[in-house]
Amino acid sequence: MSDVDVLVMLQRHGVNLKEIRAWTMCYFPFIMGGNVWQPAGTKLECDIPVKIGEHYFCVIHGPNHMMRVCELTTGGIVAHTLEQITDEVNNTEPMILRKQVADARRQMPHIRELTPEDLWRRLKNAKD
């Protein structure tokens, strides 16, 4: 199956190739009796997906030339640059990457909605 066929198939299964619900784990203090780290994100425009290994990724752009890379099917923010995620994909066993995507998919129903400005502020202040 060609890359174009895969992208068409993803679109048919509801994956938007122009907009993504980008998210990451964020700290929310003052949560009573719960985990203070929760998935949080927002919908953002994204660049055309790029295939790296067996996964597709897209770049999102924020204020002041900030950018992050998201895994296409989950929206999970996984790197600062395509070069960084390429290195990680090339140096990680495919089974581990599949498990990480599956784990991210389980987090998706629990994503707390943020404004785009709040997400970018949190990403800017995050200690990577």
Q: What is the mean pLDDT of each run of 10 residues along the chain (128 residues)?
A: 76 82 90 80 94 94 95 95 96 96 96 96 81
Beta strand spans in 1-128 (E): 19-27, 37-45, 50-52, 55-61, 67-71, 77-79, 112-113
Query: What is the reported pTM?
Result: 0.87
- Residue 127 has what pLDDT? 66
Expressed as residue numbers, the domain containing 15 is 3-125
Residues composing the chain: 128
Query: How many domains would you assign to the chain?
Result: 1
